[in-house]
Amino acid sequence: MKNLVVFASGSGSNFQSIIDAIFEGTLNAQIVGFISNNESAYSVTRAQDNNIPVLIISQSDFDDGESYSEVLLNQLKDWNAEVLILAGYLKKIPSEIISAFENNILNIHPSLLPKYGGKGFYGINVHKAVLENKEIESGCTVHIVTDEYDQGPILGQSKVKVLAADSPSDLAKRVLEKEHNLLPLTIQQHLKNKK
């Protein structure tokens, strides 16, 4: 059974979908730690409610990126982390961590990459852009994290139709439902492929 560490900055509904999938037995893994840059995020409460160890850490608390990366890496080693999952984490992962966990950091992104990826494309910004460009479909993507934002190999995608009456929040809600299914499934597939 692989050891996962989940990173999230917000409410953590994708984090919850991973917890639920493990509980239901559709994801054969355990969550050994949770990391956030936002101590007031509801995702922190989700971790505490499930007795998952929590680290609140932000690069702005450190004088330099090197010390931040070192603390992060040491914590991940202490937890025996094997695969890192970014479930709505809004900070860039340092290169040192990407190197240490090469091909074992997965991110969920609320668009059909390579469309609407990269710096600035997160959350509601993505859905606004999709509607402004009159796309007929959108969706979500799980991909491997590399040094370039949203550029890593794609592991899975799920599509939704864009409806004429959609507001950005309507679209976001439907895409999020797809994310909750896609993320645990793709993690399980990734873990099977890693054996």
Q: Which residues are catalytic?
A: 109
Nearest to 14 by CA among 38, 42, 52: 42
Note whether 111 and 30 are within 8 A (CB). Answer: no
Q: Which residues pair with 157 in a beta bridge?
A: 141
DSSP the chain: -EEEEEE-SS--HHHHHHHHHHHHTSS-EEEEEEEES-TT-HHHHHHHHTT--EEE--GGGSSSHHHHHHHHHHHHHHTT--EEEESS--SPPPHHHHHHTTT-EEEEESS-TTTT-STT--THHHHHHHHHTT-SEEEEEEEE--SSTT-SPEEEEEEEEPPTT--HHHHHHHHHHHHHHHHHHHHHHHHHHH-
